[in-house]
Structure 1
Amino acid sequence: MERLEQYDVAVVGGGTAGCAAAAGAVMTGARVVLIERNAYLGGEATHSGVGAFCGFTTCGKNPVRVVEGAGNLVLEELEKLGAPAQNRLSASGNWNISFQPEYLKCALDHLLQKLQADLLLHSLVIGAQTEKDRICALTCADDEGMFTIRAKAFVDASGDANLVRLAGARFSWGDEHGQVQAASLPFRLSGVDITKDMSPRAVKRAVDQARNAGMKHLPRESGFLLTLEGSQMVCALIPSVMPEGLFARELTRMEQELREQAVSYALALKRYMPGMEHSELVMIGPSIGFRETRKLVGRTQLTGEDVLSGHKRADGIARGGWKPEIHRNMTEMATYLAVKEGSWFDIPLGALQSETLENLYGAGRMIWADDTAFAAVRVMGTCFATGHAAGVAAALRARLGQTPCAEKVREELQKQGALI
């Protein structure tokens, strides 16, 4: 018997962007399904262990809030679970929101349950059926076999533009030269005295000592340690590798190499960094964290000039406030491009719309942006905002039967508490 389900909007990928897209579409009145291949939601925030949301505010010591809406609903669910997120000034001089990844998994579950969005975990999208200039159905697989999901509009929030590729829509790999930013595999340590110096400078001193002592698998000179007030747990963002594709063999190579690095860095910190003497490695990953892979080719490209000048626009459907953070060198810390303190920019609706398929929207780190702009919009706080907008746009597309204008999307987002 054929397994067939029908919806107004189908969202592929349950990271921050995908969850926000599902929430936005449901609150617009659509019947929604969210398809996720992992056992839980959260994307890089949970299965890569990145315990901090960047981009909810502008950069600098006096931040301005630029993301609310669906992102704020998630923060509220964390609060209800007794694990409130903490607004912290990071070692880079920017504010981020630190959280506990295990609680985030439940917070996202609770939000989608409350909104009554259908959720399919352990489900792979393996094909897309198209008719002329639109997608009409997805071919999916689980442990019982294949099934079909039909919908009127679709959101690709896979991070890697997987639906875009399967549907035959245009995409690019990395920047105009085919280069991508380094990938990472965070790991967590317990038993850390966070009252000691946890700065990148302290990490570098420890790594230098370890290298001088002959330790191997330490390619990056330093990295960030994410802390939570009152906790002895830290998340280390250090192991790095440069992706060359998403084939199984390449993914296997990267995962194994990064795990080797994580074990080496954990030992180096334990031996040579004050405050780490009693630390224990408690978790690696469990999955590689990508910064950049495939990107949707959209109708309007967000540019570095838009970001650096704080460009405001009538077709803006989300705000971005993170300054460009570029990880091109696998051995060194990120490069940051300066922006005016408190400055934010608008993200146009066209950056989320497929150039070639009229009922396909992209969200998160795969939206259409040039190299500099991408380095500012790929962070998870901004992914909440673009996901929310993509979900609303897709729901309006499903209701109207045609592509909604930016004004209608903006109106609905404002009703749902988004900052526009």
Structure 2
Amino acid sequence: MKTQFKIEEQKHKADLCIIGGGLSGTIAALTAARKGAKVVLIQDRPVLGGNCSSEIRMWVRGAKGKYDRETGVLAEFEEEHIYRNPTLAPTLWDSVLFGKVKAEKNITLLLNCSCMEAEATDTRITAIRAWQLTTYTRHTVEASYFADCSGDGILAFLTPAKARHGREDKAETGETIAKERSDACTMGMSLLVQARETDAPVPFTPPEWAYVYETDADFAVLPGADVKYSTFRDHKIGTSGCNLWWIELGGDRDSLHDAEEMRDELLKIAFGIWDHIKNRGDHGFANWELEWVGFLPGKRESTRFEGAHMLTQQEIEAGGCFADVIAYGGWPMDDHNPKGFYANTATDTPSILHPAPSPYGIPYGVLYSKNIENLFFAGRNISATHAAMSSTRVMGTCSLLGQALGNAAAICVREGILPRDVATSFIDELQQAQLDDGIFLPGVPRRIPALTKKAKTNLTAEQAALLFNGIERPRSDEEQNMLVLPMGAKVEFTLERPEEIQALRLLFDRDYSRQSITPNRKMQIFTQKLNVGRDFVPAKVPATLVKAFRVWLDGRLFYETDNNYYSLIKLPIHTAARTATVEFLETWGAEDVHLFACDIR
């Protein structure tokens, strides 16, 4: 029998310690680890993904442009998700992220683990301490670099890192959509529900503590509002319907310290709204069943760090033409009312959409601290004004920022330099790393490897100019930037003499129209489901992706697959050869092969 008890202690040493396992933190960890950095990833929830995890179920959203969809590791996640989970079960999405992280030998993953303390001077963090609830273990992590991807900015509370909370005034920022006076208000947090259409009526009895909304006027028709404002309280759920995002509170309170109280209030509202949809008025949802209610609200805004650069409304509206561009946005400046559900007049609406160009560039300077020399951050807590972060906060954009953080940290680890040194000496390398990882950067083409330019190909001059132009996605319906080849075609590289070929890089068409993936309008933006009607159609691997291909070196078969479902392929070769040939055998349905990149290095 055990009669003596003690708290376990574990110590870790890493190159990079990342706090927060949402999309930005998870992608940062994978990116840095794949480039050789030893990473500890600390996540205070049992699953990865943050707001898009099965615990919250907010849809991933990003740039609005038809051809501006976010790629990189986020695309890798989605492609795995579609292949493994065509019915889009939320918990299987969790497993995709978990599996990717656990497969990476350079990552130590600590789930259910909360950062509690930090050791820091005025200019540098040396260690953090975290508590893992499930194992009653204290973890101490010493690292050369730290990254706060927590969303709430925990290291702003535990270190001297400069940060801010609330809305700036016009006098400080010069922003036209800023407030006349600064305040401590933020955007609120939303609590989602998930329902499913069945083939028979399903009764619903609300808990006695739920609020009662007898008519739409109790929450949907804003007094004195134009008709257009009532759409902000749309409750026509369905496969491509509203996700009830407007069940939102907390922006006029403290989005951190009042979070538990706000959760309780949101639950009363959420059950009351579902009771209204089911039982009060003819909404046509008799056959719908409430399958899931979130108990963890998804936050939009809390603490923001101050970095080397602070992104503003004016810079977004001007297109973000930065020399150190490392990511892009394209969601409107979607400024949610701090009052959330209780905003109730025509001039006090739940959200105001201020236009933003798509895409606009985001600079590297928003990702590292102005006063803590080894601190990165990515996600909704980057260095941006309240107005600017109302656009950058969406998860597609945060994913690109996380990948930039991971690539920058890997450079720092390799060179033994500080984040600010990347800005002065390695920004070109960082941009090319982003591009090589399949991410688009406005105004920055990918450099074609020297070995590819050195080799002769079997392509015509026109084909080669298209394939090697460094722009690896369509930019308009007319400017597709892809080489279209017949099935069975080959791309051949011939060198004057055998040389070491390190890798082959391929980029296939992931169907930017999304038409071959799903007919469901909402899921064409990103393949996640929430409310599901009987019209739901399982997702399919994009028809335009190449499914089967072979690689030959000097006439000998080096690699083949008949079940590829990824758009970006980086195939290690590490073999000396004079010729390299890629043969494209089959797609997932398209008649032709669509190539954005095919090169050797």
TM-score (norm 2): 0.59
Identity of aligned residues (%): 26
Question: For residues 64 and 38 of structure 1, what CA distance do their matches in structure 2 show?
Answer: 34
The alpha-carbon deviation at position 50 of structure 1 amounts to 3.1
- Asked whether the equivalents of residues 13 and 143 of structure 2 are also in contact (C-alpha less than 8 Å), the reply is yes
Which residue does 2:461 correspond to in 1? none
Which residue does 2:462 correspond to in 1? none
Given the alignment, which residue of 124, 134, 150 partners 1:158?
150
Describe the SS at the equivalent of 2:391.
Answer: helix
Distance change in 2, residues 1:337/1:246 (3 Å): closer
One-letter amino acid of the structure 2 residue matched with residue 287 of structure 1: L
Given the alignment, which residue of 376, 397, 402 partners 1:361?
376
Describe the SS at the equivalent of 1:237.
Answer: coil
One-letter amino acid of the structure 1 residue matched with residue 194 of structure 2: R
Q: How does 1:370-409 map to 2 (within 5 A)?
A: 370-403=385-418, 404-405=422-423, 406-409=427-430
Q: Deviations over 1:298-323 (max 9, x none)?
A: 11011111212212221011011111
- Asked whether the equivalents of residues 154 and 394 of structure 1 are also in contact (C-alpha less than 8 Å), the reply is no
One-letter amino acid of the structure 1 residue matched with residue 85 of structure 2: G
Describe the SS at the equivalent of 2:323.
Answer: coil
Which residue does 1:334 correspond to in 2? 351
Q: How does 1:3-82 map to 2 (within 5 A)?
A: 3-46=10-53, 48-55=55-62, 57-59=63-65, 63-82=66-85
Describe the SS at the equivalent of 2:147.
Answer: strand
Question: For residues 34 and 46 of structure 1, what CA distance do their matches in structure 2 show?
Answer: 16
- Asked whether the equivalents of residues 352 and 363 of structure 1 are also in contact (C-alpha less than 8 Å), the reply is yes
Distance change in 2, residues 1:9/1:133 (3 Å): same
- Asked whether the equivalents of residues 213 and 272 of structure 2 are also in contact (C-alpha less than 8 Å), the reply is no
Question: For residues 241 and 220 of structure 1, what CA distance do their matches in structure 2 show?
Answer: 18
Question: For residues 321 and 363 of structure 1, what CA distance do their matches in structure 2 show?
Answer: 17
Q: How does 1:13-412 map to 2 (within 5 A)?
A: 13-46=20-53, 48-55=55-62, 57-59=63-65, 63-83=66-86, 100-116=89-105, 117-143=107-133, 144-176=136-168, 177=182, 178-191=184-197, 209-211=215-217, 222-223=233-234, 227-228=238-239, 235-243=243-251, 244-245=253-254, 250-271=258-279, 272=281, 274-328=283-337, 329-330=339-340, 331=343, 332-340=349-357, 343-403=358-418, 404-405=422-423, 406-412=427-433
Which residue does 1:197 correspond to in 2? none
The alpha-carbon deviation at position 360 of structure 1 amounts to 0.7
- Asked whether the equivalents of residues 190 and 281 of structure 1 are also in contact (C-alpha less than 8 Å), the reply is yes
Distance change in 2, residues 1:100/1:273 (3 Å): farther
- Asked whether the equivalents of residues 175 and 370 of structure 1 are also in contact (C-alpha less than 8 Å), the reply is yes
Which residue does 1:202 correspond to in 2? none
- Asked whether the equivalents of residues 189 and 249 of structure 2 are also in contact (C-alpha less than 8 Å), the reply is yes
Distance change in 2, residues 1:3/1:82 (3 Å): closer
For structure 1, the residue ranges without an aligned partner over 5 or more in a row are 85-98, 194-205, 214-218
Question: For residues 9 and 249 of structure 2, what CA distance do their matches in structure 1 show?
Answer: 42
Q: Which of the two has greater helix per residue?
A: 1
The alpha-carbon deviation at position 246 of structure 1 amounts to 5.1
The alpha-carbon deviation at position 371 of structure 1 amounts to 2.5
The alpha-carbon deviation at position 47 of structure 1 amounts to 5.1
The alpha-carbon deviation at position 237 of structure 1 amounts to 2.0
Describe the SS at the equivalent of 2:41.
Answer: strand
- Asked whether the equivalents of residues 51 and 100 of structure 1 are also in contact (C-alpha less than 8 Å), the reply is no
The alpha-carbon deviation at position 192 of structure 1 amounts to 6.7
Question: For residues 238 and 189 of structure 1, what CA distance do their matches in structure 2 show?
Answer: 16
- Asked whether the equivalents of residues 27 and 416 of structure 1 are also in contact (C-alpha less than 8 Å), the reply is no
Question: For residues 3 and 294 of structure 1, what CA distance do their matches in structure 2 show?
Answer: 29
Which one has a bigger Cα radius of gyration?
2
One-letter amino acid of the structure 1 residue matched with residue 125 of structure 2: I
Question: For residues 366 and 192 of structure 1, what CA distance do their matches in structure 2 show?
Answer: 41
Question: For residues 212 and 369 of structure 1, what CA distance do their matches in structure 2 show?
Answer: 36
Describe the SS at the equivalent of 1:364.
Answer: coil
Question: For residues 174 and 47 of structure 1, what CA distance do their matches in structure 2 show?
Answer: 28
- Asked whether the equivalents of residues 66 and 419 of structure 1 are also in contact (C-alpha less than 8 Å), the reply is no
Distance change in 2, residues 1:275/1:81 (3 Å): farther
Describe the SS at the equivalent of 2:369.
Answer: coil
RMSD: 2.6
One-letter amino acid of the structure 2 residue matched with residue 14 of structure 1: G
Distance change in 2, residues 1:188/1:302 (3 Å): same
Describe the SS at the equivalent of 2:270.
Answer: helix
Describe the SS at the equivalent of 1:52.
Answer: coil
TM-score (norm 1): 0.83
The alpha-carbon deviation at position 284 of structure 1 amounts to 1.8
- Asked whether the equivalents of residues 235 and 242 of structure 2 are also in contact (C-alpha less than 8 Å), the reply is no
Distance change in 2, residues 1:384/1:312 (3 Å): same
Distance change in 2, residues 1:48/1:173 (3 Å): farther
Number of corresponding residues: 379
Distance change in 2, residues 1:226/1:210 (3 Å): closer
Bigger relative contact order, structure 1 or 2, given CA contacts below 8 A and separation 6+?
1
Describe the SS at the equivalent of 2:244.
Answer: strand
Question: For residues 234 and 301 of structure 2, what CA distance do their matches in structure 1 show?
Answer: 18
The alpha-carbon deviation at position 280 of structure 1 amounts to 2.6
The alpha-carbon deviation at position 224 of structure 1 amounts to 6.5
The alpha-carbon deviation at position 368 of structure 1 amounts to 1.1
- Asked whether the equivalents of residues 214 and 276 of structure 2 are also in contact (C-alpha less than 8 Å), the reply is no
Which residue does 1:414 correspond to in 2? 435
- Asked whether the equivalents of residues 49 and 101 of structure 1 are also in contact (C-alpha less than 8 Å), the reply is no
Distance change in 2, residues 1:306/1:66 (3 Å): farther
One-letter amino acid of the structure 2 residue matched with residue 334 of structure 1: S
For structure 2, the residue ranges without an aligned partner over 5 or more in a row are 1-7, 169-181, 200-211, 220-229, 344-348, 442-601
Distance change in 2, residues 1:132/1:221 (3 Å): closer
One-letter amino acid of the structure 2 residue matched with residue 77 of structure 1: E
Describe the SS at the equivalent of 1:77.
Answer: helix
- Asked whether the equivalents of residues 180 and 293 of structure 1 are also in contact (C-alpha less than 8 Å), the reply is yes
